[in-house]
Structure 1
């Protein structure tokens, strides 16, 4: 008996060692899978509750739990959970009583990272409405497009965006849109200032009956994402998806004691869904900054005892590029979550700023699949764990980059990519992994659906991204497909840039694309141009047009003048060769120009300019 018992105990004790030997990450894989399952069941239970338990309800619970706890700290001013609740009540009453907003209406917000963004978001949700988050960098045609596709008749504008709205005010009026400003100063004729009305409004709670019919499938937010059409698309974020985004921070160990630093744009899913709503779900404190500042970043972290930071790849590099200081490791930051960190920057960041746990993730605003690197494997975006893969039904399939389509077998079905081979990430569309699509854009919604992947009649979400899995099951992001590239944390649609350039009188045709610059994440904008017959390149005019119609991150910094632009047999512009050739004047015979923002002109690229860009003497 004793011998048998001892044998059993020894066998049980050796199981973990055996598992570690066979699969070193099994315990971490299984632990994270359990966390994901638990979070998923929580979200499902909220969906079944009557009335529906939304992220707003979690916020209200936190107000009751710790009303005097700092919730938002912005520019030296602190707002408690109670403060934000009351202020959002005021906003909701003004929207309802003075603006005329009704249940299921859409309120478009053209605001920067500021407390008003949060007040208007919460106020809208308290009325059972959806909010559309407009990127404050867009203008003219793009701004009108984004506003029109969300179906809003109300535009809430921050004081710093007067001139941008003034450019399109006549078009907005033609669409019967009313523009409301949050400004204590003077505003444009025909617009309404809400500041005084908000100050005078009652802060009494908004009855739950205002949103009694809200469900998990009701639209909560429209968040815009770039696409191959050239104009942003409004991704439909319902309340269930909002919850899933809010659960990410909790799944990696963030809790109510944490102080979360949000300096990424709130109009993006990372800043709003993961950062702000993730902190709200855990009852944490948010340090809100209007814009990212590398020079002030660590000073803010030290001043406010920040414990959790967000990043995109460029953020880590910018922080590493700031001159070293003796107090670089003097901070309380324990966790960083984001995406796009290059391995060498990742290593440099840790070596310089200390033992910060980095949680690189992969995901898309409208996507139905995501990964988190819950290990400390530098460079990876996650791990392939068989239980997660079984539950999420995702796959990485072979893809033909030249034909721009998946490779299929003789039966017309897709083929899984081999280990280490970059392939297209797809995920089965189901009740467990839904895809809501884009509002008023059925064509682009359908383009994101891939049929007959592994069985006739099945339907998968096409991520548009190439990923790969190594022999140890680590997942790595490889590249983006199509005509969208990423620069300074923003997706740039090449067709939109081409369309803007084609408006210039001296241009007959334009082909925009992104090129790599050593030492920089993403790709920077470049365009091949064909001049109209008899026309000359008007550098000043082109520069003025570009700076007037495109945000900074989307402006092509390099132009290449060609006699003709190559196209494929299906009349698609060819970009691959141009991307590879880059912008080196020593190897390219075509005239090359560089956007010099200091002189506001396109200037010829000399070898000296080219070398200064590579050496980082010239900032991009």
Structure 2
């Protein structure tokens, strides 16, 4: 396999791959091949292996705590024994609501070691939104950090399920986790104690808003965890000497599995920041002597726009890895901060293929080398915005896009063995079926719909164009317009609401905007307070447009394309416009001078 892959790399595509590129692919192939040879080896086992080799080396570090490999291995086994004592075994779900910290990793690694499934809850959610995500997972237990107990309390009146609550970090609580954990010893689990768990068992539930509707819980098997970690370990060339800076939410697949798993697999160190701070970023990179960091594109843009700092080029970074780095930010980011190499990629939590820009082509999200096309079968098909579906020909088959033509990216759903093209779906089968296309190019075939528009350039690189449907991305988070509209419609004084994303100069993604039909009693200040208790900050509409009525299509669907095109420019829009003002803590009238400030980037959003 490795020899054949090497030969394929040397003869692949028009231009020969640089040695470093070839080595990256070979490393990833060799690492992930081990998954098939050792299906009972999980990520927790790689930690135990490094504990034997380098017990005192740092595994996880943060401001509040740090674990060596020996300490992390003991912590994992402590949580595993706690789980067994509570009857948590294969298929039993535990929800986890906790900010970024090393113990977060120890918790889910320990619970999943004995077959439990851990649902990673978004820490920005409250009330009914949080309750929905808990109910989707239907957990038997929930672990809640002390500082997030208020958020959990706000959800309980909306819950249909009744998980057993365990408070983390509150030693005085009657339902505290500390006392229960203290009873369970942290010696290595014996073979007799440990249930049989393989890579094909479910490990995590990670939430994604997808392209429509409320957040969905995607099933993530141990195979996917090991595959994500293995591919990135190889592609970034991670070693035990590396230290990665991770300031992304670790309830997400990138921040919580890719960044952390790739370094734990390599025996390196993970620095976990509680949240991203542009002011503190470079100081942290230098203080922790990081060699790698994980980004999302919005983070890079924030750093480019931030004032210069003394540490921004005094680092030892050798590579930045992430997704969503726009072409117009890429080169400025790399040059200003002296980043030797950028590895951009494309993937989704529930998706069945990935793209990797190993060559460092600015603005591209990756490409599929010919020798790996069978492992990650992907295609771009023509898309009809009127129907919201791919275009089909006279025979009922989808139509592939030509080079340079934008279409929806889809991935062929393959057999379970070897992991190629696997689609593990969501907790609710109906939602899984809605993400699938059937009879695409041949009778009986099935493909996963990404909901993303892409095009492929002349070199074979894929380039991201836009999201399909109502979902838009803001502040690094996918926002489901229907969920926001439902929340708005329940606010006193709101008759009807249409939610969509609009482009904002000098900002990545699309900001939320809502067109509202309101009663005479409608109160803007009350709306702002209402949304603050029901939606996370990134999902609250940044712009408002008050209308007499909403336009509908012939099939009585909301017509949004004109609204999106007109945006929030008062010279184009005749309706009253408002924008959320951080300084006043409410919505303020949006006039021409204020629009000019927003367009220049002089108004903080």
CA contact (8 A) 1:110 1:134 kept: yes
C-alpha distance in 2 between matches for 1:214 and 1:496: 36
Q: Could you say if the C-alpha distance between residues 244 and 585 of structure 1 is closer, same or farther in structure 2, counting changes exceeding 3 Å?
A: same
Match of 1:61 among 28, 42, 49: 49
Q: 1:220 maps to which residue? A: 203
C-alpha distance in 2 between matches for 1:38 and 1:501: 51
Between 1:161-170 and 1:217-226, the stretch displaced more is 161-170
Q: 2:4 maps to which residue? A: none
Q: 1:143 maps to which residue? A: 130
* Secondary structure in structure 1 of the residue aligned to 2:603: coil
TM-score (norm 2): 0.93
* Secondary structure in structure 2 of the residue aligned to 1:376: coil
Q: How many residues align?
A: 593
Match of 1:312 among 293, 296, 301: 296
C-alpha distance in 1 between matches for 2:398 and 2:277: 45
CA contact (8 A) 2:211 2:470 kept: yes
C-alpha distance in 2 between matches for 1:482 and 1:259: 39
Q: 2:435 maps to which residue? A: 448
* Secondary structure in structure 2 of the residue aligned to 1:208: coil
Q: 1:389 maps to which residue? A: 373
Q: Could you say if the C-alpha distance between residues 87 and 28 of structure 1 is closer, same or farther in structure 2, counting changes exceeding 3 Å?
A: closer
Q: 2:83 maps to which residue? A: 95
Q: Could you say if the C-alpha distance between residues 497 and 472 of structure 1 is closer, same or farther in structure 2, counting changes exceeding 3 Å?
A: same
* Secondary structure in structure 2 of the residue aligned to 1:311: strand
| Within-5 A mapping of 1:202-601 | 202-252=185-235, 253-431=237-415, 432-439=420-427, 441-532=428-519, 535-601=520-586
TM-score (norm 1): 0.91
Q: CA deviation at 1:416?
A: 0.9
Match of 2:33 among 12, 18, 41: 41
C-alpha distance in 1 between matches for 2:320 and 2:192: 39
Between 1:195-204 and 1:497-506, the stretch displaced more is 195-204
Q: 1:133 maps to which residue? A: 120
CA shift digits 1:210-266 (9 cap, x unpaired): 443212211000000013443110000001111111113222211111001111111
Q: CA deviation at 1:29?
A: 7.1
Between 1:564-573 and 1:550-559, the stretch displaced more is 564-573
Q: 1:182 maps to which residue? A: 168
* Secondary structure in structure 2 of the residue aligned to 1:530: strand
* Secondary structure in structure 1 of the residue aligned to 2:533: helix
Q: Could you say if the C-alpha distance between residues 215 and 570 of structure 1 is closer, same or farther in structure 2, counting changes exceeding 3 Å?
A: farther
Q: CA deviation at 1:402?
A: 2.7
Between 1:123-132 and 1:255-264, the stretch displaced more is 123-132
Cα RMSD over matched residues? 2.2
Between 1:86-95 and 1:125-134, the stretch displaced more is 86-95
* Secondary structure in structure 1 of the residue aligned to 2:276: coil
CA contact (8 A) 2:505 2:601 kept: no
CA shift digits 1:300-359 (9 cap, x unpaired): 111111001000011111111221134421100111010111112111111111142100
CA contact (8 A) 1:450 1:460 kept: yes
Q: Which runs of 5+ in 2 are unaligned?
A: 1-6
CA shift digits 1:526-567 (9 cap, x unpaired): 0111124xx243111111111110000000011111122122
CA contact (8 A) 1:103 1:210 kept: no
* Secondary structure in structure 1 of the residue aligned to 2:437: strand
CA shift digits 1:572-613 (9 cap, x unpaired): 222222111110112110111112233232221122221121
C-alpha distance in 2 between matches for 1:356 and 1:236: 36
C-alpha distance in 2 between matches for 1:103 and 1:41: 25
C-alpha distance in 1 between matches for 2:292 and 2:176: 36
CA contact (8 A) 2:211 2:451 kept: no
Q: CA deviation at 1:499?
A: 0.4
Structure number, greater radius of gyration: 1
Q: 2:92 maps to which residue? A: 105
CA contact (8 A) 2:115 2:201 kept: no
CA contact (8 A) 2:128 2:158 kept: no
Q: Which runs of 5+ in 1 are unaligned?
A: 1-14
CA contact (8 A) 2:325 2:363 kept: yes
CA contact (8 A) 1:425 1:463 kept: yes
Q: CA deviation at 1:86?
A: 1.5
CA shift digits 1:446-487 (9 cap, x unpaired): 111101111111111111111111111111111111111111
Q: CA deviation at 1:20?
A: 9.8
Q: CA deviation at 1:76?
A: 6.2
Q: Could you say if the C-alpha distance between residues 222 and 508 of structure 1 is closer, same or farther in structure 2, counting changes exceeding 3 Å?
A: same
Q: CA deviation at 1:281?
A: 0.9
| Within-5 A mapping of 1:595-610 | 595-610=580-595
C-alpha distance in 2 between matches for 1:199 and 1:22: 60
CA contact (8 A) 2:43 2:109 kept: no
Q: CA deviation at 1:392?
A: 2.6
Q: Could you say if the C-alpha distance between residues 61 and 26 of structure 1 is closer, same or farther in structure 2, counting changes exceeding 3 Å?
A: closer
| 1:612 maps to 2:600 | no
Q: CA deviation at 1:200?
A: 5.2
C-alpha distance in 2 between matches for 1:27 and 1:395: 28
